[in-house]
Amino acid sequence: MNRFIALLCAAAFLTAAAPQQIAPLDASEIQFSYEKLRTDFYKKTDAQAIVNGARTEIGKQLRLAGIGASLPPIFAAESSARTARAVGHEVDVATRLAHGKISSHMLAYAAIAGMLNSVHDRYTTFLTPKEYADLNQGLDGGSFAGTGIVIEQDDTTKYIDVSNVIPDGPADKAGVQEGDTISAIDGLSTKNMKLQTASSHLRGKAGTPVKLTIVRQGQLVPDPITIVRAQIRELSVYEKMLPGKIGYVELTVFGRDTGAELQQALDRLQKEGALALVLDLRDNGGGYLDSAIAVSSKFIASGPIVSVESRASNVTTYEAEDTAIPPVPLAVLVNNHTASASEITTAAIQDSGVGTVIGTKTYGKGVVQEIVALPDGSAIKITDARYLTPRNRDINLIGITPDISVIENKGAGFRFGDPARDAQLGRAVQFLNDRITHMNGG
């Protein structure tokens, strides 16, 4: 924050020389973003291209508001402060041309977004306060008042099924079990009910009851189960035991608490006697680098997890954290939406030989971003490094090829997480059962 105070002072000094409409805070954020992009982006940047990007985006916002006036060119200077001042002046010019249709603040946002867009990197972007808040909630989880049930619709019966139950949540304490069918919520049939509608019925004010009519293994549970709603924190890790003592763990994101959640899930599966594990990273778009290292370390006892190479070719290698569980046969499920931190974990497991990757080729995101919050709640996200796998592979724009290729069977009859109706999971279970049989001398 001291850096921002210094920038604010500089902005105030500049405004004394020539009256501006741009607020000092906006001016400071423009300068900070410009300097951060110039120094931290993992490839060499061009100052003039950056300010041209700001001008382009400001002009675009004017045109969207129906304003066709052209903006003067911006020229980058040797000094970052002078360059930022030139961008701020462009915001002032645009503000006057807008005649109140667009605020100076929003045009300053456009300038920052344009500067970041100028490097033509899909991951280097500006985040509005709402976008930044949504990103944080997606990574770190939010909370809501509800039952603690993960639901899905059965394609055959069209009723709502329980795909997972949050441990120690209200539904778990009330006796709801994974695999149950919810045929009615408070007497309202769930047949053909949309998932969003069902979810809205399950959620509600903490302390209020909801009654579920349950069908378990084809038999109607005699009395509806009453659940008292409570505050639920969204999890990033869900686990269950599959037939044959195969533990199944799904990671939805690599968030702040994913490593700790995974440890708890693995502890529960080990207590239940899991003989093998499936780590499901399908549709997991990634998250924090630290989380990827923590997750990988649960399966890799020692050695490198990932190496990160910065713009200056400085390479930092991250080693396993000495938190690995006792080794068991491991299968990792991936698809073309497995990306970023998910690929770090997948590659580390594949390169170290502790597990077998099954599914389709991954997305191919081999670069790392830093996210810097700005004082007004917005943020800038800048690609500041690329990463290499333990075997020195660069998977950016390439992806990871599975050891066993299995095409997804999404469509009629597909049910995520059900080995009988999920081809990739079914293949993983078959592979692990073969491994278990082989280990037992069969």
The first and second tokens of residue 38, run together, are 């110039």
Instruction: Quote the CA–CA distance of 174 and 147 in Å, as a whole number.
Output: 10
Pairing state between β 181-185 and 160-165: antiparallel
Q: At what angle do helices 47-64 and 24-40 cross, to 10 degrees?
A: 130
Instruction: Quote the CA–CA distance of 340 and 253 in Å, as a whole number.
Output: 10
**Is 405 assigned a catalytic role?**
no
The size of the chain, in residues, is 442
- Check: CB of residue 246 under 8 Å from CB of residue 274: yes
Which amino acid does the sequence have at 35?
E
Instruction: Quote the CA–CA distance of 33 and 381 in Å, as a whole number.
Output: 10
- Check: CB of residue 249 under 8 Å from CB of residue 277: yes
**Is 154 assigned a catalytic role?**
no
**Is 60 assigned a catalytic role?**
no
Catalytic residue among 236, 297, 340, 342: 340
Which 3 state secondary structure label does DSSP give 56? helix
The first and second tokens of residue 306, run together, are 């990932």
Catalytic residue among 365, 378, 381, 384: 365
Instruction: Quote the CA–CA distance of 421 and 414 in Å, as a whole number.
Output: 5
Which 3 state secondary structure label does DSSP give 82? helix
What are the Cα distances from residue 177, in Å, to 170, 195, 250, 251, 418?
A: 12, 18, 17, 20, 15
- Check: CB of residue 356 under 8 Å from CB of residue 330: yes
Instruction: Quote the CA–CA distance of 79 and 50 in Å, as a whole number.
Output: 14
Q: Say how many C-beta atoms besides its own lie within 10 A of residue 407's C-beta.
A: 10
The first and second tokens of residue 95, run together, are 């503000």
Pairing state between β 379-388 and 304-310: antiparallel
Q: Say how many C-beta atoms besides its own lie within 10 A of residue 7's C-beta.
A: 22
The first and second tokens of residue 15, run together, are 């405004």
Catalytic residue among 161, 280, 351, 422: 351
Q: Kindly list the catalytic residues.
A: 340, 351, 365
